[in-house]
Amino acid sequence: MNPLLQPFETAPFKKIKNKHFKPAIVSAIKNAKEDIDIITSNIEKPTFKNTIETLEFSGMQLKRVTSIFFNLNSAETNDEIQKIAQEVSPLLSDFANDIRLNEKLFEKVKIIYQQKNSLNLTPEQVTLLDNQYKMFVRNGANLNENDKNKLRDIDKEASKLSLKFGENILAETNAFELHITDKNQLKGLPEGELEAAKQTAKQKDKKGWLFTLDYPSYVPFMTYVEDRTLREKMAKAFGARAFQNNKFDNQQAVLDIVKLRHERSNLLGYKTHSHFVLEERMAENPEKVMTFLNDLLKKAKPAAIREFEQLKSFAKKDRIDTFQKWDSAFYSEKLKKQLFDLDEEQLKPYFKLENVLNGVFTIANKLYDLNFEEIDTIDTYHKDVTTYKVTDNNGDFIAYFYADFFPRKGKRNGAWMTSYKSQWKDNDGNSRPHISIVCNFTKPTETKPSLLTFNEVTTLFHEFGHALHGMLANTTYPSLSGTSVHWDFVELPSQVLENWCYEKEALDIFAKHYKTGESIPMELVQKIKDSSNFLEGMTTLRQLSFSLLDMSWHSGESPQTITSVKEFEKKAFADTNLFPDVAENCMSTAFSHIFQGGYSSGYYSYKWAEVLDADAFEYFKESGIFDKKTAQKFKDNILSKGGTENPMTLYKRFRGKEPNVNALLKRAGLLK
């Protein structure tokens, strides 16, 4: 019996074997097609209920099975899972197109869409109807048969390429190891990092210290190791992932993905992929995005150049004549220490992972009345995953929450929030969500617990902000629930929560020394605040460079003329580059956000959402960061509403006005 085809509440990880996935997906596709047939064969007049709502709740089994499968492919993959992903992706792509190109179904949706003003629908129902109608139109429902077939081929090919892109990066990340046997070469590296590297070596039956391209290994290495040659070696290995003309090379994949996306948007009547994507964003079009990015660039670049010159002259004391990328983190940390007397290593003892996690739970309770109880009654896919039952102050069940914090071979780099089940309402009541966050933090060693860098603390808060958006969802329809919002709005709940990490009131809750239990001293809190804008110009410029690279790939009118990924990238970086180019390195071939994740033509949304989050947090601060009234407004108008209405409408309902970009510039210290 296939556990994925039996009814289940939480994902039955312990019963699932790899062999179950493909048959379950094939069977669930068949069932989902039958759900669609019920709508198209219905001889009654199309109504909102028998067409739009029935379509919304069709294929629920398939959605759950694929969410389990693709989440595992990101967090706990292996060769077999990757092979299955390559086999099922075209099937899923075909199925999606079977729906989107189904003329009978579209006709029924169109009939209701044309009557929408006379149907007395709620705002949420109007949004659902608009979304469904656009889903057809934006996916080729109005195309002729020949073009529909072309679209199918493009979608199938693109989904396979995107999977392969991610597999190649994971393979290249796993393939590199720096094995050191002479401790003198690791001068500068803190004791905790040395111990972690020793543990990694031990796990692979090697003497000495082993370093990898996983963030918890790579970032401290680049920040502290004095040996410049070794830093260069690590940096070049990191920058060369999937850019080595070997079987894991992503250059052709980048060119092919970009061409396919462009071809697809042209087929649908759009000038470029960016025009297609941004039609469904707060930003609306590429011109607006470019104006936004260039405006920020104008304000950030002078500060970035000043900071860069300051770093360069600081490094000159060590006779560094040509300041390179592999010098940046090392000298930034040294300069920060000199200017603010702040050392990341001073902070880490106050950020034991368990304390930070309990801290974010407490903050969620103070703001939104949520309680987290660790449980072992639901399955997990790995022993490192912890699970929680989330309830409100009345004891009502709100969500299940999964947390997966440490790097391992089958897990991709970075941090993300995801869900195993959305929230929705039906005749059985309010069906609650199952939410997960996945990170790559420093593992505990034999002598120390997992101690986070301050950057890792803000990452945990960021992902937990997304998780709150998922957990507090309270909508009728699953496709409008939680984080199912405009892509440039989705980062607001995550980024706004990061602000609490800088506030004494919040730090007092969780920043306790892991040995003594004493609270983080006030002078350290002050140093965190004082240094929060350190090198902000360079940081902003770096983010803008990624956004501009993304827009360059997707808003040009003739991607088929691009022959060299590296040369194209160099041109895109021209206005934002501070460092000399490294010939062996390429950003695009490992830019998972835009070539594997959903951020194509959307990377700008991090900065866009920063404007929203700075403005929103200013509002929180007016009455105190734990003010219940403000938190309730945020919960009622943002966190619980998902994508039920236009994001600007929701934001203005919370804030009382449109966001002001000056709030961001002021916070970043870029406002003169």
pLDDT of residue 597: 84
Is 107 assigned a catalytic role? no
**648-664 residue pLDDT tens:** 999 999 999 999 888 88
**423-463 residue pLDDT tens:** 999 999 999 999 999 999 989 988 999 999 999 999 999 99
pLDDT of residue 344: 83
Dihedral sign computed on CA atoms, order 459, 593, 639, 379: negative
Pairing of strands 370-375, 434-438: unpaired
Which residues are paired to 235 by β-bridges? none
Indicate where the chain has its CATH 1.20.1050.40 domain(s): 3-142
Q: Give the list of residues 6+ apart from residue 151 with CB closer than 8 angstroms, or none.
A: 97, 101, 139, 140, 143, 264, 267, 268
**308-346 residue pLDDT tens:** 999 999 999 999 999 999 999 999 999 999 999 988 889
Determine contact, residues 364/526, Cβ cutoff 8 Å. no
pLDDT of residue 672: 63
Q: Give whole-number Cα distances, 276 to 89, 261, 279, 353, 538, in Å.
A: 22, 10, 6, 42, 31
Query: Helix, strand, or coil here: 518?
Result: coil
pLDDT of residue 668: 86
**376-423 residue pLDDT tens:** 999 999 999 999 999 999 999 999 999 999 999 999 989 999 999 999
Q: Which of 621, 418, 358 is nearest to 500 (CA)?
A: 621
State the Cα–Cα distance between residues 513 and 459, nearest whole angstrom: 20
Q: How many CA atoms lie less than 13 Å away from 159 in the CB half-sphere?
A: 19
Give, for 481, the enclosing helix (H) or strand (E).
none
Residue 143, Cβ neighbours under 10 Å: how many? 17
Q: Which residues of the chain have pLDDT under 50?
A: none
Choice among 193, 345, 463, 498 that is catalytic: 463
CATH assignment, 3-142? 1.20.1050.40
User: Which DSSP category does 281 fall into?
Assistant: S
Q: Return left, alpha or beta for 642; rule: phi > 0 is left, psi -120 to 50 is alpha, else beta.
A: left
State the Cα–Cα distance between residues 460 and 293, nearest whole angstrom: 27
